[in-house]
Amino acid sequence: MRIKFKSMATSLALCLALQAHADTLLGKVINVADGDTITVLDDTHTQHKIRLTGIDAPEKRQAFGNVSKQSLADMVAGQSVTVEWVKTDRYGRKLGKVLLAGLDCNLVQVKRGLAWHYKQYQKEQLPTDQQSYAAAEIEARSAKLGLWRDADPMPPWEFRHKP
């Protein structure tokens, strides 16, 4: 019981820390680069590259890469979104959750079978997001949605390091 309590306390502390440090960006999506990267234009006409957190979509040259990009474009291109972000990556992109009228677009990509739940970085997600993204991937896999139609889909993190 003591271990479980520590785990819950750690999760709660992480959740509060993420919420305390999260910034919010409001703007219009002016570009969809791929299934997990967009550009948002804010009201000061500043462009922000956004990498959707918690997911990893197929690369453009990979099976379902263009389908994943089109799915995200159909959802957010030209739309006003809210981005909840905590940090930037080494490429200067803000890492965030993209919300369209409250709808978690990152999660939708996973639900459609057009992105993996990026478990390598799940500790950076809120515990509730970790659970919902993991469950969405399991559901998409079992329903053989999107990339899960392939017998053995290659995760993008392996594809990127392929010789």
SS (H, E, C) 68-123: HHHHHHHHHCCCEEEEEEEEECCCCCEEEEEEECCEEHHHHHHHCCCCEECHHHHH
61 catalytic per annotation: no
Is 51 marked active-site? yes
> Is the distance from CB of 83 to CB of 37 less than 8 angstroms?
no
State yes or no: is 124 an active-site residue: no
Q: Which of 59, 84, 112, 137 is catalytic?
A: 59
Q: Is 144 left (phi over 0), alpha (psi -120 to 50) or beta?
A: left
Which of 51, 84, 112, 137 does the annotation list as catalytic?
A: 51
Cα 103 off chain centre by = 12
Q: Which of 84, 93, 112, 137 is catalytic?
A: 93
Active-site amino acid positions: 51, 59, 93
